[in-house]
């Protein structure tokens, strides 16, 4: 199948002329900047940030072995998701597909943009029926996949993603927010093979920077160009860009934290598997574990009384009486264990 992004872009976006900022029109080096109505007195933030975030993209390009024009940076992955709807979906007309259960922002963003989102239910063991999905998604503008998936914790095999990219005539948006915690490799190398694959990652989870709001998307430069065309000109602030650049200079402590979280996940999995209060523990490749209990509402309320907040996922499809427990520090995890020991 020959994929052409122009068949996916909204008609009303095709002809749009992006806002040209002062920093777009002149981006060399000069002594006197009187083009952007900024306050001339120097502080860290008196100047507008680089609208294309070139320095940060260069650092990220090196880490992931991609080209600068294959990277889009957003105000969290949430901005990337929203921009995809705005670039590719005609409100009230187009439809998209997401696996279900999965991340809530896919449907919230669909509603905000008045786009129909059709949920494709996973199998009972949270695996994906690829053939049926491909059939189900015919005519949709894009498919959201999430691997490792939130809240189920399992991954989608590479062969499945490849089969979907090959057979589907729209965009495949693969959310890899939790990929750093997984034994599966990121599928970023596949963007060179499939011009309809967009992969999202984030600084919010393994990289420990949820507070700066920084999401990344990787894809063929033809997709990335459309996101750049419609994004708010200065979508990332100077503080976010500088903080991330600085953090990327040395990532060894993130690696160490990640290893500890993975070790703790194994401990927690073993503990939960042997706890009489837990009916089922779902294996996880992310930094959380989904469990099924007798009454999720009841246990959730009791945990709150002890000051332990987990996520009640009971009202999600296939997640009846399920709680999602984030892996914390060893001390925090110990509190969960001590609490569960008092149950039953
Ligand atoms: C946490 C999470 C994100 C992160 O979103 P940001 O806006 O980058 O913080 C993205 N996708 C999934 C599935 C998540 O669980």
Q: Does the structure show a pLDDT above 90 at 27? A: no
Q: Which residues touch 3 (CB under 8 Å, ≥6 apart)?
A: 169, 194, 195, 196
Q: Does the structure show a pLDDT above 90 at 96? A: yes
Percent of the chain with pLDDT over 90: 94
* Candidate from 28-32, 104-108, 146-150 with smallest mean pLDDT: 28-32
**CA 175 to ligand 1 center in whole angstroms:** 8
Ligand 1, atom 2, residue with closest C-alpha: 177
Question: What local confidence, expressed as pLDDT, does residue 20 receive?
Answer: 85
Whether 76 is in the pocket of ligand 1, judged by its Cβ within 6 Å, is yes
pLDDT tens digits for range 247-305: 999 999 999 999 999 999 999 999 999 999 999 999 999 999 999 999 999 999 999 99
Ligand 1 atom index nearest CA of 79: 7
Give the residue, out of 84, 150, 286, with the most ligand 1 atoms within 8 A of its beta carbon, to mutate for a pocket test.
150
Ligand 1, atom 12, residue with closest C-alpha: 177
Ligand 1, atom 3, residue with closest C-alpha: 177
The residue count of the chain comes to 344
Contact (Cβ atoms closer than 8 angstroms) between residue 215 and residue 203: yes
Q: How many CA atoms lie within 13 A of 106 on its CB side?
A: 24
Q: Which of 194, 198, 96 is nearest to 137 (CA)?
A: 96
Question: What local confidence, expressed as pLDDT, does residue 85 receive?
Answer: 98
Confidence of residue 26 (pLDDT cuts 50, 70, 90): confident
Question: Is beta strand 288-293 parallel, antiparallel or unpaired with respect to 322-326?
Answer: antiparallel
Q: Is 88 exposed, middle or buried (0-12, 13-18, 19+ CB in 10 A)?
A: buried
Q: Does the structure show a pLDDT above 70 at 62? A: yes
CB atoms within 10 A of CB 208: 14
Give the residue, out of 98, 103, 146, with the most ligand 1 atoms within 8 A of its beta carbon, to mutate for a pocket test.
103
Whether 144 is in the pocket of ligand 1, judged by its Cβ within 6 Å, is no
Cα(339)–Cα(344) distance, integer angstroms? 11
Over residues 311-329, the mean pLDDT reads 98
**CA 75 to ligand 1 center in whole angstroms:** 11
CB atoms within 10 A of CB 112: 13
Whether 152 is in the pocket of ligand 1, judged by its Cβ within 6 Å, is no
If one compares 127 and 28, the residue with the highest pLDDT of the two is: 127
Cα(148)–Cα(261) distance, integer angstroms? 15
Whether 75 is in the pocket of ligand 1, judged by its Cβ within 6 Å, is no
Whether 50 is in the pocket of ligand 1, judged by its Cβ within 6 Å, is no
Indicate the average pLDDT of the chain. Answer: 96
Confidence of residue 213 (pLDDT cuts 50, 70, 90): very high
Question: What local confidence, expressed as pLDDT, does residue 305 receive?
Answer: 96
Question: What local confidence, expressed as pLDDT, does residue 21 receive?
Answer: 86
Whether 177 is in the pocket of ligand 1, judged by its Cβ within 6 Å, is yes
Over residues 330-342, the mean pLDDT reads 97
Question: What local confidence, expressed as pLDDT, does residue 190 receive?
Answer: 98
**CA 177 to ligand 1 center in whole angstroms:** 6
- Please tell me the chain's helix, strand, coil percentages from 3-state DSSP, rounded to the nearest 5: 40, 15, 45
Q: How many CA atoms lie within 13 A of 148 on its CB side?
A: 24
Q: Which helix (H) or strand (E) holds 24?
A: helix 22-25
**CA 141 to ligand 1 center in whole angstroms:** 21
Question: What local confidence, expressed as pLDDT, does residue 1 receive?
Answer: 67
Q: Which of 18, 53, 87 is nearest to 234 (CA)?
A: 53
Question: What local confidence, expressed as pLDDT, does residue 28 receive?
Answer: 83
């Amino acid at each position: 199948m020959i994929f052409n992004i122009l068949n996916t872009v909204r008609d009303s976006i095709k002809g749009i002329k992006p806002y040209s900022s002062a920093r777009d029109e002149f981006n060399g080096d000069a002594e006197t900047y009187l083009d952007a109505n900024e306050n001339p007195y120097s502080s860290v933030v008196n100047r507008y940030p680089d609208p294309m975030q070139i320095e940060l993209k260069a650092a990220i390009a090196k880490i992931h072995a991609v080209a600068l024009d294959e990277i889009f940076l957003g105000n969290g992955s949430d901005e990337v998701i929203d921009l995809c709807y705005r670039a590719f979906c005609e409100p009230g007309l187009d439809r998209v597909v997401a696996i279900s259960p999965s991340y809530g922002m896919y449907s919230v963003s669909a509603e905000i943009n008045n786009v129909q989102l059709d949920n494709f239910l996973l199998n009972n063991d949270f695996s994906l029926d690829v053939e049926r999905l491909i059939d189900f998604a015919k005519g949709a503008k894009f498919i959201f996949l999430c691997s490792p998936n939130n809240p189920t914790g399992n991954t989608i095999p590479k062969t499945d993603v490849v089969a979907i990219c090959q057979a589907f005539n729209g965009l495949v948006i693969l959310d890899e927010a939790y990929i750093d915690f997984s034994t599966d490799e990121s599928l970023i190398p596949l963007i060179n093979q499939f011009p309809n694959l967009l992969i999202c990652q984030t600084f919010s989870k393994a990289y420990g920077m949820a507070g700066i709001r920084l999401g990344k998307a990787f894809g063929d430069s033809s997709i990335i160009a459309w996101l750049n065309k419609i994004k708010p000109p200065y979508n990332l602030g100077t503080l976010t860009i500088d903080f991330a650049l600085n953090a990327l200079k040395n990532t060894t402590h993130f690696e160490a934290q990640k290893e500890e979280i993975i070790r703790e996940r194994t401990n927690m999995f073993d503990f939960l598997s042997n706890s009489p209060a837990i009916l089922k523990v779902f294996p996880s490749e992310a930094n959380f574990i989904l469990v099924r209990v007798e009454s999720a509402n009841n246990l959730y309320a009791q945990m709150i009384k002890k000051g332990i907040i987990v996520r009640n996922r009971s009202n999600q499809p296939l997640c009846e009486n399920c709680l999602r427990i984030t892996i914390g520090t060893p001390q925090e995890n110990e509190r969960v264990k001590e609490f569960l020991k008092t149950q039953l």
